[in-house]
């Protein structure tokens, strides 16, 4: 039986690695173009929209990392037994998504090496980006400590690293919200909403991704879910429904102050989402795919199955990717200088270039590639009570 | 310690929208070609009145050299600094190209120069000031929209203009304390 599955698995594995390699190659070509021609020529960024899909993809990856850490810590730190099965995989993927996120941001920065130098020898302690980078650095170290503790099976160490990592994750991640939230000039971003919203949306990301890795691991190996994993899937599904229910109200309360009384600039940015150039992304991907359908799947007893939770997780992940994109673009879509003529405020335009999209695809592939290798070579089972 | 505080006072009614200031700035400071690359600009204000009685004003602008500059606050590597005379500067070798300052500036006064490999912006032509000359945009303007000077000196032209005439700054609600003053 196992010989048959090995034979059947091999072409699938080849196809999987081939797909990942193709995406990474496309990204490498795009990076080559950037190095040869410069960011300005290759990316569709402008003076007025200097942050594009690479920044939103960076946000997507680091949100995923935080979410994975928070959800995985439910078992090792907060004592929810159902979540202990996800400890190793969750923390490993948290490390990989964080590293991939850093990589995507390095592609967006014009001088990533200068950053490494001057962030240390010339730090600006009033800069949210400086704090974000530093806190994520601390978080990465703690994640590695936690993963090591889980791999050597030290419950005490994993508790200590997990607890510290939990607070580092929330500090770093809410600080990422502050990178946007502390810009007084950007009415759509400014305020304390984003740091708080980022923590909640990380939980949604984490719930979705932990369900996906459990399901696809078993699927790829052709083994059925054990009772522990079945219980985990149903618990994470219920929890995910709760997170999504709260997230919907976060979105509603982000939209209402944006349209109520038509506050200048905030109103135009919000309307770009509600009925403007970002409306399809917002209503279809964010609301329908990212929240409503997964929520209905998870609250319906007939679809609250491991497969249903996986589908909901996949939809959530896609929706969250668009949430990050829309958030980054909507904040910049209203020009800082008033336009000429009568009529409504002119909105700026941005659509990612082929090279930007290739780098995004390569980043996703790179993360999946590293994760697949880890699954092949590291003992990911264990580290929990069976 | 210098008590100088440079500022520009603008009388926008005099502006013809000829954009000589933008051309002079580009030539003086070797600003790369392309509409995205500029250190100063002229905004066309909305038309007033109805045909045939119409009016329009043009508002030239550039870095406001804010007293409370968001660009300086957010720069992670302190590439953005401020000179003793209040000029907001960019140390090119420290700029990592994160463009955070560009998103933080409420006036869209900055752009990324691929040629410099750093964010670029108005410096009040600091190199000309060192030679006792005026900024290029001030010197070239055919109708003398801009008056440049030192607000630390009560006898300077800018100090006298601001004492004499009511004036405003752009986006005062941002709390940036700009040093470009527009006569009302």
Residue to substitute from A33, A122, A186, interface B, most B β-carbons within 10 A: A122
Contact A314, A219 (CB under 8 A): no
Q: What integer is the mean pLDDT of A159-171?
A: 94
Average pLDDT over residues B64-68: 97
Residues in chain A with CB shorter than 8 Å from the CB of B75 are 124, 127
Among chain A residues, the shortest Cα distance to B81 is held by A124
On chain A, the residues whose CB falls within 8 A of the CB of B73 are 124, 126-127
The CA distances from residue B3 to B7, B124, B153, in Å, are 13, 17, 8
pLDDT of amino acid A6: 52
CB pair distance less than 8 Å for B112 and A335: no
Angle at A274 between CA A271 and CA A275, to 5 degrees: 80
Q: Is A185 exposed, middle or buried (0-12, 13-18, 19+ CB in 10 A)?
A: buried
Structure tokens at A30: 């795009």
Question: Above 80 in pLDDT, residue A384?
Answer: no
CB distance A368 to A30 below 8 Å = no
Mean pLDDT value of segment A237-264: 96
Q: Residue A46: how many CB atoms within 10 A of its CB?
A: 18
pLDDT score at A7: 40
Burial B117-134, CB ≥16 within 10 A → b, else e: bbbbbbbbbeebbeeeeb
Mean pLDDT for A306-322 is: 97
Token digits for A167?
A: 């607070």
Cβ contacts of residue A292 below 8 Å, gap of 6+? none
Considering chain A, what is the average pLDDT of its residues?
A: 92
Q: What is the pLDDT of residue B165?
A: 95
The pTM score is 0.94
pLDDT value of position A383: 52
Cβ–Cβ below 8 Å for A337 and B41: yes
Q: What is the pLDDT of residues B87-135, one digit of tens each?
A: 999 999 999 999 999 999 999 999 999 999 999 999 999 999 999 999 9
* Residues of chain A in Cβ contact (below 8 Å) with chain B: 38-41, 46-48, 50-51, 109-112, 114-115, 118-119, 122-124, 126-130, 133, 179, 182-186, 331-332, 335-338, 340-342
For B84-150, the DSSP string reads TTS-EEE-GGG-----HHHHH-TT---EEETTTTEEE---TTHHHHTTT---HHHHH-TT--EEEEE
Residue A386, pLDDT score: 39
Tens of pLDDT, residue by residue over A106-149, are 999 999 999 989 999 999 999 999 999 999 999 999 999 999 99
For position A382, what pLDDT does the model report? 63
**pLDDT at A40 exceeding the cut of 70:** yes
Q: Structure tokens of A201? A: 């949306």
Alpha-carbon gap: A106 to the closest alpha carbon of chain B (Å) = 9
Q: Which residues of B touch A179 (CB under 8 A)?
A: 100
pLDDT for A8 beyond 50: no
Does the pLDDT of residue A207 top 90, yes or no? yes
Q: What is the pLDDT of residues A60-106, one digit of tens each?
A: 999 999 999 999 999 888 989 899 899 899 999 999 999 999 999 99
Q: Identify the pLDDT of residue A76.
A: 84
């Amino acid at each position: 039986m196992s010989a048959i599955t090995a034979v059947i698995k091999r072409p699938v594995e080849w196809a999987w690695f081939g797909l990942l390699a193709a995406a990474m190659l496309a990204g490498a070509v795009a990076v080559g173009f950037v190095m040869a021609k410069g960011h300005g020529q290759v990316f569709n960024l402008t003076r007025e929209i200097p942050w594009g899909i690479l920044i939103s993809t960076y946000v997507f990856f680091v949100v995923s990392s935080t979410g994975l850490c928070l959800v995985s810590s439910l078992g090792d730190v907060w004592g929810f037994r159902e979540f202990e099965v996800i400890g190793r995989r969750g923390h490993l993927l948290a490390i990989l998504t964080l590293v991939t996120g850093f990589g995507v941001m390095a592609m967006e920065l014009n001088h990533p090496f200068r950053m490494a130098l001057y962030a240390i020898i010339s730090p600006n302690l009033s800069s949210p980006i400086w704090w974000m980078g530093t806190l994520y650095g601390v978080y990465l170290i703690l994640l590695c400590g936690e993963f090591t503790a889980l791999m050597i099976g030290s419950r005490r160490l994993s508790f200590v690293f997990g607890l510290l990592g939990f607070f580092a994750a929330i500090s770093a991640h809410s600080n990422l919200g502050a990178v946007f939230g502390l810009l007084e000039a950007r009415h759509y971003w400014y305020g304390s909403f984003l740091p708080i919203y980022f923590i909640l949306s990380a939980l949604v990301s984490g719930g979705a991704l932990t369900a996906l890795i459990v399901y696809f691991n078993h699927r790829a190996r052709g083994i059925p879910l054990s009772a522990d994993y079945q219980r985990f899937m149903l618990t994470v599904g219920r929890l995910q429904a709760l997170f999504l229910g709260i997230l919907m109200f976060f979105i509603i309360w982000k939209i209402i102050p944006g349209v109520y009384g038509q506050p200048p600039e905030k109103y135009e940015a919000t309307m770009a989402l509600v009925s403007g150039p970002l409306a399809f992304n917002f209503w279809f991907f964010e609301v329908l795919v990212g929240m409503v359908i997964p929520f209905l799947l998870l609250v319906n007893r007939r679809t609250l199955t491991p497969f249903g939770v996986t589908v909901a997780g996949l939809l959530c992940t896609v929706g969250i990717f668009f949430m990050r994109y829309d958030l980054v673009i909507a904040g910049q879509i209203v020009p800082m200088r008033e336009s000429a003529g009568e009529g409504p405020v002119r909105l700026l335009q941005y659509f990612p270039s082929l090279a930007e999209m290739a780098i995004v695809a390569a980043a996703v592939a790179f993360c999946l590639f590293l994760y697949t290798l880890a699954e092949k070579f590291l003992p990911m089972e264990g580290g929990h009570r069976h | 310690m210098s008590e100088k505080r440079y500022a520009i006072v603008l009388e926008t009614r005099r502006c013809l929208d000829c954009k000589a200031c933008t051309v002079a700035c580009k030539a003086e400071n070797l600003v790369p070609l392309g509409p995205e690359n500029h250190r100063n600009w002229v905004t066309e204000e909305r038309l007033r009145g109805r045909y045939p009685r119409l009016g329009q004003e043009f508002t030239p602008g550039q870095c406001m050299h804010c007293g409370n500059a968001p660009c300086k606050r957010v720069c992670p590597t302190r590439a953005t600094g401020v000179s003793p005379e209040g000029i907001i500067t960019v140390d090119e070798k420290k700029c990592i190209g994160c463009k955070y300052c560009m998103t933080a500036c409420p006036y869209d006064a900055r752009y990324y120069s691929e040629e410099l490999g750093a964010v670029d912006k108005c410096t009040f032509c600091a190199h000309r000031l060192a030679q006792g000359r005026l900024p290029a945009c001030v010197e070239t303007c055919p109708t003398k929209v801009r008056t440049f000077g030192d607000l630390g000196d009560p006898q300077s032209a800018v100090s006298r203009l601001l004492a004499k005439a009511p004036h405003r700054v752009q986006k005062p609600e941002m709390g940036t304390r700009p040093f470009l003053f527009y006569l009302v």
